[in-house]
Amino acid sequence: MNPHSEARAAAPLVDCRGVYKIFGRGSGAVTALQDVGLQVAEGEFVTVVGASGCGKSTLLRAIGGLETYTAGEILVDGKPVRAPGIDRAMVFQNYSLYPWLTVTQNIRFTRTLSAHTRDRTSSSVEAALGRSDALIRLMGLAPAADKHPNQLSGGMQQRVAIARALMSRPRILLMDEPFGALDAQTREVMHDLILHVSELERSTVIFVTHDVEEAIYLGKRVVLMAPRPGRIDSIYDVPLPPKQRSQEMRQAPEFLRLRSQILGRIRETAGMKTDLDLLQSLSRQAPGA
Amino acid sequence: MKTNGASVPDPAAAAMPAPTRRGAWQALGALWTIRGPLGARAYWALAGVGLLVPLLLWTLLSTFGAINKVFLPGPLDVALRLGRWYTEDDLAGDIGISVYRVVAGWALSALIALPLGLYIGTYRSVQALLEPLTDFIRYMPAVAFIPLVMLWIGIDERSKVAIIFIGTFFQMVLMVAEDVRRVPLAQIEAAQTMGATRSEIVEKVILASAKPALLDTLRITMGWAWTYLVVAELVAANSGLGYAIIKAQRFLQTDKIFAGILLIGAIGLAIDQAFRLLHRLAFPWLNPRGNG
């Protein structure tokens, strides 16, 4: 190991320290994040799961600079996060594409912004055009390049959103349930695609989802958050080869074991264990016999 | 532009293999599918029925209803009156001046309401500052402003434009603000994470995203501007369609009142259709089947 990579390993790219987020004031105050500490190394793929209301989206949005935080510190590359920045791209669940632009225009949207076009030399413009063409091919969007988003399926729309986010080579990709609105088959395709792309781009990814299987399949680490107050409950290392995942792995014993372990823990933290007892007591009361 | 509906086979017709009684019932039933599709031919047929039936009823009532023509002139009387209005009086001039007043009042209103509504819908601070005030004023009847307008502006052309402006502006501001607020937050936040500046977000995202809704607002408020025409021409006017209606009332020329009202309706319908056509041409991406 050379000293450079050692230094990188020592300082995490994303460093959340004692982060609190409190909505409201007085007796109506809700603690969305309580003492959250999370370190993500450069090039790492971290997934965040948890029951609804656990603050996973709030944490992601705070890292993205879209949400302020009440206390603590979020450092990206050693600098505190105050606002959104072009080093952190975000992919939303839906409605974030611009329906009046074509697929190509959506992906090249950053090229119309002053923050990305300070360098107006012809070589930089050429490089950008080449980059967007490469992303269109990589995402399998070539046949749809001149179509408008509402002519595309949900899966294709999310490919455009990911390509658009990658366009300016962000250091960190923040994904907020990006496949939440897709059907199961499309989701599996998107999983392999995003793994391939993040490998190719060497992106650091923080990926929020409510789907435990998705979290294990994609993540090198799975962060489990718990609700009321929103906090990090536990962090799991995924015991699967990180570089080459395949759909068969979803059936591997260690995959299934981790899945049931995490699911069980989510039920515990959400207080959902009692639901089964409740159902049984209800069926006993049912005037069937 | 050929509409898509015309090229698609009519589902009602497809469900009707032979003109049996049962098939006809099925076709009728298809018309009652909740939010069901309707072919272009069926649409225009129904629209024609909707317009012609009242005309027919009117004709029958005025011909056989034994109603004094002072109360209900027949369609023919109205048409003849319209012809005399054109040949003996200055119908073209009346239409011209009324269109000018309405369009001027509406355009002036749009000129101020569009940027103001954009600010109200974008910044909560501007909303807090101006929206309650606008809400307050918009409940005031435009007619009641006539004496004030005469006092402040006088009785020339500007006062008519001012009345139409007062009747249109305050509603328009609130509608524009609402259009702007309906821009999905994800579209704005995506731009923020891509490093867009505030002015870039307003121009390239909020304005671009709200454009179709804004054109609809302009179309609807144009209709409201026309409803204030008669009121506006109460103010010392000596020309215009609204003025002609008021004058006809004085001479009990019911046929002319009818002619004036119908003319305003027809002009309004034409302008409305022009706006709809513009909407289709300007925003082809709204139609997922087109522009492919």
Nearest CB partner across the interface for B187, out of A84, A89, A98: A98
Assigned domain for B3 exists: no
| Count of CA atoms in the C-beta half-sphere (13 A) of A93 | 13
Statement to judge: residues B90 and B55 lie in one domain: no
Tell me how many domains chain B contains: 2
Torsion of CA B211, B217, B218, B221, to 10 degrees: -170
Residue B252 amino acid letter: L
Statement to judge: residues B85 and B62 lie in one domain: no
Q: What is the pLDDT of residues B137-156, one digit of tens each?
A: 999 988 888 899 999 998 88
| Residue B186 contacts A where some CB pair is shorter than 8 Å | yes
Statement to judge: residues B86 and B52 lie in one domain: no
What's the pLDDT score for residue A94?
A: 84
What's the pLDDT score for residue A116?
A: 80
Statement to judge: residues B53 and B190 lie in one domain: no
The reply to whether CATH 3.40.50.970 applies to domain A11-87+171-289 is no
Assigned domain for B228 exists: yes
Interface test with B, best of A107, A151, A157 (most B CBs within 10 A): A151
What's the pLDDT score for residue A282?
A: 79
Residue with tokens 């870039």: B200
Greatest C-alpha distance within chain B: 75
Question: Which residues span the domain enclosing B89?
Answer: 81-285
Closest CA to A179 of A200, A196, A194, A165: A194
CB B118 within 8 A of CB B208: no
CA distance B118 to chain A (A): 19
Statement to judge: residues B61 and B166 lie in one domain: no
CB contact under 8 A, B190 and A64: no
CB A165 within 8 A of CB A92: no
Last residue of a domain, one of B18, B33, B66: B66
What's the pLDDT score for residue A83?
A: 93
pLDDT tens digits, chain A, 289 residues: what are they? 344 444 445 689 999 999 999 998 888 899 999 999 999 999 999 999 999 889 999 999 999 999 999 999 999 999 999 999 999 999 998 889 999 999 999 999 998 898 887 766 777 778 888 899 999 998 999 999 999 999 999 999 999 999 999 998 899 999 999 999 899 888 998 999 999 988 888 899 999 999 999 999 999 999 999 998 999 999 999 988 766 778 888 888 999 999 999 999 998 888 766 666 777 777 777 665 4
CB contact under 8 A, A98 and B208: yes
CB contact under 8 A, A84 and B192: yes
Assigned domain for B74 exists: no
What's the pLDDT score for residue B290?
A: 47
* CATH number of the domain where residue B274 is located: 1.10.3720.10
What's the pLDDT score for residue A287?
A: 63
What's the pLDDT score for residue B292?
A: 38
Whether the bond between A229 and the residue before it is cis, its omega within 30 degrees of 0, is: yes
Statement to judge: residues B49 and B163 lie in one domain: no
Contacts of A99 (CB under 8 A, 6+ apart): A148, A149, A150, B209, B285, B286
What's the pLDDT score for residue B261?
A: 94
Domain boundaries, chain A: 11-87+171-289, 94-169
Structure tokens at A34: 């309580």
Assigned domain for B72 exists: no
ipTM above 0.85, yes or no: yes
Mean pLDDT per 10-residue section of chain B, whose length is 292 residues: 48 52 74 86 93 93 86 92 94 95 97 97 96 92 88 91 94 96 95 94 96 97 93 86 93 94 94 96 82 40
Assigned domain for B165 exists: yes
